[in-house]
Amino acid sequence: MSQESTDRPDGDLRETGMSLRHDREWDYELDRITDAVAERDATSVGLQFPEGLKRRGPGVADDLRELLPDGVNVLISGQPCYGACDLDTFLMKRTDVFVHFGHSPMKESEKIIYVPLFSNVEVTPIVERAMEEELASPDEDPDVGLVTTAQHMNKFDDMRAYLEERGYEVHTRRGDERLTHEGQVLGCNYASAEVDADQVLYVGGGKFHPLGLAMEYPDKHVVIADPVNNVVTVADTETFMKQRYASVHKAMDADTWGVIFCTKIGQGRWEEAEEIVENN
Amino acid sequence: MSQESTDRPDGDLRETGMSLRHDREWDYELDRITDAVAERDATSVGLQFPEGLKRRGPGVADDLRELLPDGVNVLISGQPCYGACDLDTFLMKRTDVFVHFGHSPMKESEKIIYVPLFSNVEVTPIVERAMEEELASPDEDPDVGLVTTAQHMNKFDDMRAYLEERGYEVHTRRGDERLTHEGQVLGCNYASAEVDADQVLYVGGGKFHPLGLAMEYPDKHVVIADPVNNVVTVADTETFMKQRYASVHKAMDADTWGVIFCTKIGQGRWEEAEEIVENN
């Protein structure tokens, strides 16, 4: 999903994540990893980072090596990683302890350690701006849904408290069993936004999650409060939908169709791919 | 492996494979595939093509579908493929018959059909030119080694006969058990060039195989006769080795080293990677 903006000068990096207003620091929970290694007498540890944090991998591995006994190998996954479901099973099979950074737990396994990497960025300033700029005031409409991503779950109570103190009734829920936390959205799951409120506040970076959310609930007003880039916007599905329809329209002339299946365990849907082939 | 040429004008596509002097036609042996499907009552067929032939995949699939009974699914591998050892095991596990195009057999399996895709290009004209331009004459040195790749194995006897008729003593051998044919070279195996001759004629496209060969036998004069681009050259390892030494030199300043392992079954060497890590 991508949304183009035409009213910005070239070189404006807002919302691109390329020039962050806040430096982020992460807690890699190295103690938890070294404990697990000691407990299991492990001789190898695999590390998997999401795309945005891959560059930090070698540094984390170095820090970890200093804490681990000699003879324990640390291996870093080089495979692309987009989500908690996207485990590098190749590396997992070949290491005694497998650490998946940056996402909240999804699969149960004794071998896997999930290190969620909560951002240290403050969220109340951007929630305040969202209130002033895009949310209906509590007098107009006190009901607001609240969702965020794994990185900002540690500040979820702050967000809620801030809104409640200003007179909002905050509606949240835990989506389903794939979701670890109340109010958490995944790229594949927006059930936590199915609340009794016409406006939903998404606190977090990126367009992927809020656009997905807005498409699933087209009647809701989805306000994006990005605490990292310090930007407040409204999820606008129109541009994205136009691009999608343009693609569909272009494809109408085709005589032959291909169905592309992704081989990753958590990101491919073999049965659905087969069903599409069978029904067409 | 790549070799840069500086004495050519921009846009000269010789040796790039981008503008072929000869159109190649391939025999995809569809009958053999349909027979295998009938024999095994297969309901799914997987096709894997090397990179250079991937674009022809959908056409081959269409032709195959016309010959196969209704209800048989044809699936094409989208994974990169570089050699007979580079099997898409994911697709192989999920199909009843798995067809690997463009390479000669390497692994034994009841499920896999290897379709070698022999080129229909004539080889004697380019062998003639190689003789005139780069090989020592039979009077000077009658001994010549002869090697080629899977695609031109069907013309191996023609090459040999042509050279013998002109007075050469042609030295060939079958490298080892990984090699199917006498005189065949693989990117990882040049044993078939270990013959009693100071000059070796490589008939085939690309620089990868003849450069690898020339590096393994630095005392041999390796003549490249490319029947597809219609070019005769001599394998020059100097440029390549200079680039390699430049990289090594640049890397000498590094404090930290990474060892990258490829996860493909036939193209990664886990034990060697581990050994490198252990010994450094």
A8-22: pLDDT as tens digits: 444 344 455 444 556
Q: Tell me the residues of chain B between 141 and 170 that have a Cβ less than 8 Å away from chain A.
A: none
Q: What is the mean pLDDT of chain B?
A: 88
Residue B6's pLDDT band (cuts 50, 70, 90): very low
Give the pLDDT of residue A73: 93
Residue B18's pLDDT band (cuts 50, 70, 90): very low
Residue B58's φ and ψ, nearest 5 degrees, are -60, -35
Give the pLDDT of residue B15: 52
Nearest alpha-carbon partner for B26 in B119, B108, B100, B145: B119
Q: What is the pLDDT of residues A218-255, one digit of tens each?
A: 999 999 999 988 899 999 999 888 999 999 999 999 88
Mutate to test the interface with B, among A44, A72, A75, A88 (most CBs of B within 10 A): A75
Cβ-based contacts of B276 with chain A (< 8 Å): none
Give the pLDDT of residue B147: 97
**DSSP code, position A69:** P
Domains of chain A: 30-115 (3.40.50.11840), 124-235 (3.40.50.11850), 239-278 (no CATH)
Yes or no, beta carbons of A263 and B58 under 8 Å apart: no
Q: Higher pLDDT residue, A138 or B178?
A: A138
In chain B, the residue whose alpha carbon lies closest to the alpha carbon of A89 is: B263
Q: Is the pLDDT of residue A50 over 90?
A: yes
Q: Is the pLDDT of residue B190 over 50?
A: yes
Residue B71 contacts A, CB cutoff 8 Å? no
Give the pLDDT of residue A192: 92
Distance from CA of B91 to the nearest CA of A (A): 9
Distance from CA of B209 to the nearest CA of A (A): 28
In chain A, the residue whose alpha carbon lies closest to the alpha carbon of B78 is: A260
B40: helix, coil or strand? Answer: helix
Q: What is the mean pLDDT of chain A?
A: 88
- Which element (helix H / strand E) includes A99? strand A97-101
As a whole number, mean pLDDT of residues A164-174 equals 95
Closest partner CB to B78 (pick from A58, A94, A260) = A260
Mutate to test the interface with B, among A48, A263, A264 (most CBs of B within 10 A): A263
Contact A186, A102 (CB under 8 A): no
**DSSP code, position A246:** H
Residue A73 contacts B, CB cutoff 8 Å? yes
Give the pLDDT of residue A267: 85
Q: Is the pLDDT of residue B1 over 50?
A: no
Whole-angstrom CA distances from A39 to A33, A75, A97, B113 are 10, 19, 10, 47
Distance from CA of B42 to the nearest CA of A (A): 16
Cβ-based contacts of B92 with chain A (< 8 Å): none
Residue A277 contacts B, CB cutoff 8 Å? yes
Give the pLDDT of residue B20: 52
User: Can you give the three-state secondary structure of chain A, one letter per residue?
Assistant: CCCCCCCCCCCCCCCCCCCCCCCCCCCCCHHHHHHHHHHHCCCEEEEECCHHHHHHHHHHHHHHHHHCCCCCEEEECCCCCCCCCCCCHHHHHCCCEEEEECCCCCCCCCCEEEECCCCCCCCHHHHHHHHHHCCCCCCCCCEEEEEECHHHHHHHHHHHHHHHHCCCEEECCCCCCCCCCCCECECCECHHHCCCCCEEEEECCCCHHHHHHHHHCCCCEEEEEECCCCEEEECCHHHHHHHHHHHHHHHCCCCCCCCCCCCCCCCCCHHHHHHHHHCC
CA triple A111-A115-A118, angle to 5 deg: 170
Q: What is the pLDDT of residues B27-73, one digit of tens each?
A: 999 999 999 999 999 999 999 999 989 999 999 999 999 999 998 99
Please report the ipTM that was assigned to this predicted complex: 0.74
Residue A105's pLDDT band (cuts 50, 70, 90): confident
In chain B, the residue whose alpha carbon lies closest to the alpha carbon of A271 is: B94
Q: Is the pLDDT of residue B245 over 60?
A: yes
A65: helix, coil or strand? Answer: helix
Give the pLDDT of residue A277: 86
Residue B69's φ and ψ, nearest 5 degrees, are -65, 155
Closest partner CB to A90 (pick from B78, B79, B263) = B263
Residue B23's pLDDT band (cuts 50, 70, 90): low
Residue A94 contacts B, CB cutoff 8 Å? yes
d(CA A68, CA A33): 9
Yes or no, beta carbons of A78 and B277 under 8 Å apart: no
Cβ-based contacts of B255 with chain A (< 8 Å): none
Residue A62 contacts B, CB cutoff 8 Å? yes
Residue B90 contacts A, CB cutoff 8 Å? yes
Whole-angstrom CA distances from A237 to A5, A6, A207, A249, B264 are 13, 15, 10, 18, 40
Closest partner CB to A256 (pick from B58, B73, B270) = B58
Yes or no, beta carbons of B260 and A78 under 8 Å apart: yes
